[in-house]
Amino acid sequence: MRIILTYGTFDLFHVGHIRLLKRLSELGDKLIVGVSTDEFNLKKGKKSFFSYAERSEIVQSCRYVDQVIPERDWEQKRNDILECNVDVFAMGDDWVGTFDSLKDICDVVYLERTENISTTDIKSKLAKINKSELDKIELHLHDLIDIVKTLSDN
């Protein structure tokens, strides 16, 4: 059995995450995903929208993922590889070279990221939406609901 291991925060789960996990799963027979804990994210200077428990549940529900483990610190990777009998450690290509020191115990692969989508970009776009724009969206949604109700009554 060929075991693949990757890590990430996986906040605001999106199609880029799904495509990455699919490609990772195609590298072997079992995909293990380390999801960064809230405490570890704080150490990295990150704050997730969803909690660790929620992000883990979301990632675990992806059909390409066989197991989720908590990522608590940078140093655990070597130990996780050995404990889980990992054959391939894989990350996005924004990490190229960072984990080459693990090549003595497994293959290390860096996969290309999905173009034009990232959690950072999504958060940036969401932050630009102001209250008046949200009020307009809500008004349009109510109008749409009224239309749907009218059509269903006929």
Q: Catalytic amino acids? A: 44, 46
Tokens of 50: 């969803």
Give the strand order in the sheet containing 3-8. 67-71, 30-36, 3-8, 88-92, 107-111
> Is 107 within 8 Å of 88 (Cβ atoms)?
yes
Of 112, 1, 115, 17, residue with least CA distance to 63: 17
Of 132, 135, 99, 93, residue with least CA distance to 114: 93
Phi, psi of 135 (to 5 degrees): -60, -40
Q: What are the residue ranges of helices labelled H in 11-86?
A: 15-25, 38-43, 52-61, 76-83
